[in-house]
């Protein structure tokens, strides 16, 4: 794996949205891991037509198993996805992705020059690059990025501010609880709910400041306490997301026996989900409204080889079946649906081996990892009034892996 630095730029359309989308696309690429990202800076166009708009620029660092040529091919593909049309030099563009550095490699071919031949002259490149890699060395010039930046004027480079208008969120006024929301998918769902106007309680095993409840969901008594405390603290719940799950793929748990992993998954992923959803669901039904979202697995019904496949198919398959039955029990007052993620780039996905990266490429029709944001978007929609005619369903968020 090598570290590469990529410059991003845009001066057409919704520049902030385009840069954000491009970074998300890089994060989703198998065999490529985002390790650092700079602030977004705004600068006047350099060498462009007089009526060209100002540019937004940033730099990201990625760890990749792609060759420099393969990485360039990917960058050009992403540019095309976001409407880049390469015409005359310095023409305005929706997205510009430049490979600045690739380890300590020096490359000069008709299609690729690394280091980027003009990067050492451009403050709009050096400022964000120095933010994330001040000690990186330009292999041709033998100087650090900080040293190169000190030699160029930088007065026109300023931190950009977003012009995104504040609009009422899809979940304005709703009160929610997201279990397992201190990291990963759960934290992303919590943040998305908050952004969309919901008043959200977070949950995890450890105590944290703010509107947070600590509870170990492998203990039934703590599951019951979480249900009561959350309902009382929120003044009633409109949305419950049962996201908490036992991590049996990373850390010490990865070395557990099959039986130890099964017990942990049954306790947290299945029993706690059932007990919490039944308890809070009954209160929602009595009050007259509510929405519950559970988390399944897209391959639970089709199967996957190996111990992990057997474990997750059994436990998450049970969650999906329970969801359908609970939906019938709580209708029409409460809607209950399940999100079944596919290959989502969680902590395990960040460090998965080359074999697993290639498996994602081969098995996913869209060819990339899903991101926690993809699950959060589905959760926001399911919790919103837009999904008011949807209950007892399993929504597969998996890039087309399982139909």
Among candidate residues 241, 337, 236, the one with its CA nearest the CA of residue 284: 236
Contact 239, 290 (CB under 8 A): yes
Q: Is 287 noted as a catalytic residue in this protein?
A: no
Q: Which of 15, 66, 93, 175 is catalytic?
A: 93
Helix (H, G, I), strand (E, B) or coil at 66: coil
Contact 101, 4 (CB under 8 A): yes
Q: Which of 25, 27, 66, 98 is catalytic?
A: 98
Q: Which of 27, 33, 96, 374 is catalytic?
A: 96
Task: For 197, list phi and psi in degrees, rounded to 5.
Answer: 95, 0
Calculate the CA dihedral of residues 139, 144, 146, 152 and round it to 10 degrees: -50
Cis peptide preceding 115, ω within 30 of 0: yes
Q: Where are the beta strands (DSSP E) in 133-229?
A: 137-138, 143-144, 158-159, 175-178, 199-204, 212-214
Q: Which of 84, 122, 175, 335 is catalytic?
A: 84
Can you read off the two tokens belonging to residue 98?
């430049």
Q: What is the DSSP string of 36-104?
A: EEPPPEEE--SS--TTPPPEEEEEEEEEESS-HHHHHHHHHHHHHHTT----STT---S-EEEEEEETT
Can you read off the two tokens belonging to residue 265?
């998954």
Q: Is 65 noted as a catalytic residue in this protein?
A: no
- Which run of H or E residues covers position 58? strand 55-64
Instruction: Report d(CA 19, CA 40) in Å as an integer.
Output: 9
Calculate the CA dihedral of residues 98, 373, 378, 305 and round it to 10 degrees: 90
Contact 59, 125 (CB under 8 A): yes
Among candidate residues 269, 196, 204, the one with its CA nearest the CA of residue 230: 204
Among candidate residues 296, 294, 388, 401, the one with its CA nearest the CA of residue 334: 388
Residue with tokens 């993809």: 374
For 237, counting Cβ atoms within 10 Å of its Cβ (0-12 exposed, 13-18 middle, 19+ buried), the class is buried
Q: Is 361 noted as a catalytic residue in this protein?
A: no
Q: Is 216 noted as a catalytic residue in this protein?
A: no
Contact 241, 177 (CB under 8 A): yes
Active site residues: 84, 93, 96, 98
């Amino acid at each position: 794996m090598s570290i590469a630095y990529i410059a991003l730029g845009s001066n057409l359309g919704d520049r902030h949205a385009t840069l954000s989308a491009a970074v998300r696309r890089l994060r989703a690429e198998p065999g490529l891991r985002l390790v650092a990202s700079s602030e977004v800076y705004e600068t006047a166009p350099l060498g462009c037509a007089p009526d060209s708009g100002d540019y937004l620029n940033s730099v990201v660092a990625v760890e990749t198993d792609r060759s420099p040529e393969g990485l360039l091919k990917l960058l050009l593909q992403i540019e095309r996805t976001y409407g880049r049309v390469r015409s005359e030099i310095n023409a305005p563009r929706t997205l510009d992705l430049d490979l600045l550095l690739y380890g300590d490699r020096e490359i000069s071919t008709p299609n690729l020059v690394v280091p980027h031949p003009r990067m050492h002259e451009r403050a709009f490149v050096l400022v964000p690059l120095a933010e994330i890699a001040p000690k990186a060395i330009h292999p041709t010039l033998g100087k650090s990025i900080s040293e190169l930046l000190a030699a160029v004027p930088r007065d026109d480079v300023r931190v950009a501010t977003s012009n995104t208008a504040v609009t009422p969120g899809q979940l304005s006024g709703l009160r929610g609880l997201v279990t397992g929301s201190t990291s990963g998918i759960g934290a992303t769902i919590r943040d998305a709910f908050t952004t969309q106007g919901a008043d959200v309680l977070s949950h995890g095993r450890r105590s944290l400041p703010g509107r947070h409840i600590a509870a170990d969901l492998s203990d039934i008594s703590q599951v019951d306490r979480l249900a009561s405390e959350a309902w009382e603290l929120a003044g009633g719940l409109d949305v419950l997301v049962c996201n908490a799950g036992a991590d049996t793929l990373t850390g010490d748990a990865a070395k557990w026996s099959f039986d130890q992993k099964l017990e942990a998954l049954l306790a947290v992923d299945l029993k706690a989900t059932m007990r919490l959803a039944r308890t809070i669901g009954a209160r929602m039904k009595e009050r007259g409204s509510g929405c519950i979202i559970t988390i399944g697995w897209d391959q639970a019904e089709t199967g996957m080889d190996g111990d992990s496949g057997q474990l997750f198919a059994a436990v998450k398959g049970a969650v999906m079946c329970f969801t359908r039955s609970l939906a019938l029990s709580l209708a029409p007052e409460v809607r209950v649906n399940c999100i079944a993620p596919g290959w989502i780039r969680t902590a395990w996905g960040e460090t998965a081996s080359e074999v697993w990266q290639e498996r994602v490429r081969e098995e996913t029709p869209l060819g990339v990892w899903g991101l926690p944001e993809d699950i959060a978007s589905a959760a926001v929609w399911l919790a919103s009034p837009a999904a008011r005619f949807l209950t007892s369903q399993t929504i597969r968020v998996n890039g087309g892996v399982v139909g």
